[in-house]
């Protein structure tokens, strides 16, 4: 995963408050957000890189229609499967959503486990220029021809600092780094070392924790519940709309495994097992990302009272929008 070396700026105690609910996938972040939303006017803002795709509401565990009735929800299911989401673009949209919530007197609740997006919002995103479509298409063509491992080797020559941070199989980040290098002539790591535009907000980061064994059991149950709810039919319908296995939306966990089944490369049982395996590995990577963050206040999954107390204590520390 990408990490910025930019230190967080100390915010004034009366700066607008933004709450982030973070933690591994399946830990119960959405349920906790809704519990907080019934105590005061809130807007839930997605901070998950996969829940942006409209074709996969079941597979990516997007909030249900009933859950969205509790309070406004932003940045869920607004992108096509063929579209790529970048941290910078998503950051601009998230900032706009946060600013709008604050202007309406609502408390912004950022909900999701994509640590890079949260780091970008709290510390600012790297000022990377737009990448021409021609360059992006050329890198994708090379990916299809030689694979991500070969491209990662190329990246290790052009940007060894960033290459050491990502796995060779991480197609999205490998391609993104090469695109930036080809378009700007400078490594991805160079841009991340530049001055960042940081928002004038203060953040309360609430981590939702769960003992690993219980989390794994919950992830297995959730995967089976998704299959029962129609995840396979969802993938089949998405394939009819976007029959391109290289499309960004198909790279998500659950999407790629079910696509392998639809293309005859795996049985449904094999796809399910791989889906569970990859989800568990992803949860572990998320916790590895969040573990060094000293400013996260951790609560047990389902402990709504502890989260409410943290929120009230933080609100009491300054004049805050929505208090």
Q: How far apart are CA 191 and CA 125, in angstroms?
A: 9
Q: Look at the chain and report how many structural domains it folds into.
A: 2
pTM value is 0.79
Within its chain, how far is the Cα of 49 from the centroid? 3
CATH of the domain at 184: 1.10.20.140
Could you tell me if 141 and 88 lie in one domain?
A: no
Q: How far apart are CA 198 and CA 223, in angstroms?
A: 37
Could you tell me if 269 and 306 lie in one domain?
A: yes
Q: How far apart are CA 277 and CA 206, in angstroms?
A: 27
Could you tell me if 73 and 57 lie in one domain?
A: yes
Three-class SS state of 279:
helix
Please check whether residue 279 is in contact with residue 253, taking contact to mean a CB–CB distance below 8 angstroms: yes
Three-class SS state of 260:
helix
Range of 76's domain?
A: 17-126+202-316
Please check whether residue 322 is in contact with residue 106, taking contact to mean a CB–CB distance below 8 angstroms: yes
Could you tell me if 147 and 285 lie in one domain?
A: no
Could you tell me if 62 and 183 lie in one domain?
A: no
- Identify the CA nearest to 111 among candidates 192, 31, 219: 31
User: Residue 252 domain-assigned?
Assistant: yes
User: Residue 196 domain-assigned?
Assistant: no
Q: How far apart are CA 260 and CA 286, in angstroms?
A: 25
pLDDT for 13: 58
Could you tell me if 80 and 226 lie in one domain?
A: yes
Torsion of CA 150, 151, 157, 159, to 10 degrees: -150
* Structure token pair of residue 307: 């989260």
Q: How far apart are CA 270 and CA 260, in angstroms?
A: 10
CATH of the domain at 81: 3.40.50.300
Hey, how many other C-beta atoms are within 10 angstroms of the C-beta on 292?
A: 8
For each successive 10 residues of the chain (323 residues), what is the average pLDDT? 41 80 95 94 96 97 96 97 85 91 96 86 76 91 92 95 87 90 92 71 94 96 98 98 94 96 97 97 92 91 95 76 38
Q: How far apart are CA 112 and CA 114, in angstroms?
A: 6
pLDDT for 253: 96
Q: Crossing angle of helices 268-290/212-229, nearest 10°?
A: 140
User: Residue 197 domain-assigned?
Assistant: no
Could you tell me if 206 and 264 lie in one domain?
A: yes
CA neighbours closer than 13 Å in the CB half-sphere of residue 39 = 16
Q: How far apart are CA 318 and CA 245, in angstroms?
A: 50
Q: How far apart are CA 263 and CA 75, in angstroms?
A: 30
pLDDT for 118: 85
* Structure token pair of residue 166: 């990502």
Please check whether residue 86 is in contact with residue 176, taking contact to mean a CB–CB distance below 8 angstroms: yes
3-state secondary structure string across 155-183: HHHHCHHHHCCCCCCCHHHHHHHHHHHHH
Strand partners, 46: 111
Could you tell me if 34 and 77 lie in one domain?
A: yes
């Amino acid at each position: 995963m990408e990490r910025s070396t930019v230190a967080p700026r100390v915010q004034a105690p009366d700066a607008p408050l933004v709450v982030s609910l973070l933690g591994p996938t399946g830990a119960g972040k959405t349920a906790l957000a809704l519990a907080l939303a019934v105590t005061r006017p809130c807007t839930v803002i997605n901070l998950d890189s996969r829940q942006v795709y409209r074709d996969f509401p079941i597979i990516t565990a997007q909030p249900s229609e009933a859950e969205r009735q509790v309070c406004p929800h932003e940045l869920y299911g607004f992108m096509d499967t063929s579209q790529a989401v970048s941290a910078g673009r998503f950051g601009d949209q998230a900032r706009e959503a946060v600013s709008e919530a604050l202007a309406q007197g609502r408390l912004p609740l950022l909900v999701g486990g994509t640590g890079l997006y949260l780091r970008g919002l709290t510390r600012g995103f790297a000022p990377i220029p737009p990448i021409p479509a021609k360059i992006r298409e050329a890198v994708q063509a090379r990916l299809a021809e030689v694979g991500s491992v070969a491209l990662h080797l190329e990246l290790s020559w052009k940007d060894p600092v960033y290459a050491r941070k990502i796995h060779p199989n991480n197609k999205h980040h490998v391609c993104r780094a090469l695109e930036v290098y080809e378009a700007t002539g400078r490594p991805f790591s160079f841009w991340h070392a530049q001055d960042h535009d940081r928002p004038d907000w203060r953040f309360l980061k609430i981590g939702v924790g769960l003992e690993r064994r219980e989390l794994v059991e919950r992830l297995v149950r959730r995967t089976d519940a998704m299959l029962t709810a129609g995840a396979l039919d969802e993938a089949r319908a998405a394939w009819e709309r976007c029959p391109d296995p290289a499309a960004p939306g198909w790279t998500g966990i659950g999407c790629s495994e079910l696509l392998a089944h639809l293309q005859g490369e795996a049985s449904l049982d094999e796809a399910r097992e791989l889906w569970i395996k990859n989800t568990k590995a992803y949860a572990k990577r998320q916790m590895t990302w969040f573990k060094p963050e000293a400013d996260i206040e951790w609560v047990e999954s389902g402990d709504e009272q502890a989260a409410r107390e943290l929120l009230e204590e933080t609100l009491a520390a300054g004049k805050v929008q929505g208090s």
